[in-house]
Amino acid sequence: MKTESESLFEKAKKLIPGGVNSPVRAFRSVGGSPFFTKRANGCHLTTVDGQELIDYVCTWGPAIHGHNHPRIREAISNALEQGTSFGTPGPAEVEMAELITEVVPSVEKVRMCNSGTEATMSCIRLARGYTGKSKIIKFAGCYHGHVDSLLVKAGSGALTLGNPDSAGVPDSLARETIVLPYNDEQAVEDALLENKDEIAAIIIEPFPANCGLILPKPGYLEKLRSLCTANKVLLIFDEVMTGFRLGIGGVQERTGVTPDLTAMGKIIGGGLPVGALGGKTEIMDYLAPLGPVYQAGTLSGNPLAMAAGIESLRILKEENPYESMEKMGTMLAVGIIEIAKSHGIALQVPQAGSMLCFYFSESQVDNFDQAIACKHERFNTIFQKLLSSGVYLPPSSYETCFLSSQHNEEIISLTLEKIKSAFSSL
């Protein structure tokens, strides 16, 4: 007899491409059918079949306070009383801009949009308009949303489905994108030299989190900053995933490396659709209506999303959960490594704050090629074992696990017990 999730998925496949509205949700990488969620609270999901799961996806990052936080729910409810959309400027947009510019080191002005993809797309257009140059450097395995020119050697769902170079992207557009290996300073120097005065920007996930979690080698981000400055190239940090999560100011606060433009999203929507781009005033003022670079959106600065995002940032400022989440992330990562060692299994668990991943590899993973060379079938086995025992990891070994402030020592200990049991099956 089919479960309710299986029945819903069969119906969904007749109505929605692949049965899902975002590809990685289809469980193609890990096998089996996806579960359907009926509610979420704290660090748990409850499926339509009644199974309660400890959640290490956290709606792919935004749920830093856990699911269904009462203050965020109340903020949305209060905003809803005033209307769902105005199509005019609203006071919450100004408050959100004040909060972001206060905490993100590189941001002097900010423009709201509706998704991380819109944010990175707008950063690229703005960089080209500001510099008058057309080529972009990105890094293999870094995913910047489903923007045509950036779906080249992409990570996340594109990589999970084995198709990092998407159909539908014209060769002429792809040729404007130079793809380099992450953590290779010389490759960047060579590309800048070979394409002198043609590069508008370098866009990077400073901590790539869409092909697992790759950490920069010491000095790498600093070198990118100096190379961009020397070559009059804009440095764009895609902090859609790391922003407000690895510190309220993101990677740039954590490392002290300041980009020219920053793409943001996820946490600043409090669980509702949102994106933002921000940077130096001189660059941001190239956006319409002040400048010649056009960018617009009917629902940009939507009052419900602004209310949820403002409350999310307020909670971060008031509660400052980063030290606690770092502690929980370290506890989980160290515990997983110890379990793997006890079973004689080679495993790397890179971790930064409340983010970590599984690399079944003998050695440290520093780039895309090393990430895809890992033994992903082992992750798939672990995923299924944990799911059946009540722990939900991202349904792809190329994705990153997220913790929330609701993941406490008791939850981490319980998770490690279940991981220990799952590893015995390897």
Q: Which of 55, 130, 238, 359 is catalytic?
A: 238
Q: Which of 109, 153, 266, 385 is catalytic?
A: 266
Q: Chain centroid to CA 115: how far? A: 11
| Tokens 């992207």 found at | 169
171 is catalytic: no
13: number of CA atoms within 13 Å, CB side?
9
- In the numeric block, which tokens belong to residue 168? 């539908």
Q: Tell me whether strands 261-265 and 234-238 are parallel, antiparallel or unpaired.
A: parallel
DSSP letter for each residue of 37-92:
EEEEEBTEEEETTS-EEEESSGGGTT-TT-BT-HHHHHHHHHHHTT-S--SS--HH
Taking a C-beta distance cutoff of 8 angstroms, is the pair 302, 272 a contact? yes
Phi–psi pair at 277, nearest 5 degrees? -130, 145
In this structure, the number of other CB atoms found within 10 A of the CB of residue 364 comes to 12
DSSP H stretches of helix in 132-203 = 156-160, 171-174, 185-194
Question: Checking phi first, is residue 246 left (phi over 0); if not, alpha (psi -120 to 50) or beta?
Answer: alpha
Q: Specify the length of the chain in residues.
A: 426
What is the enclosing helix (H) or strand (E) of 277? strand 275-279
238 is catalytic: yes
274: nearest Cα among 155, 113, 77 = 113
Q: Cα torsion for 138, 144, 146, 151, to the nearest 10°?
A: 20
11 is catalytic: no
| CB neighbour burial string for 367-392, b if at least 16 within 10 angstroms, e if fewer | bbebbbebbbebbbbbbbbbbeeebb
Taking a C-beta distance cutoff of 8 angstroms, is the pair 318, 103 a contact? no
Q: Which of 56, 130, 143, 359 is catalytic?
A: 143
Q: Annotated active-site positions, please?
A: 143, 238, 266
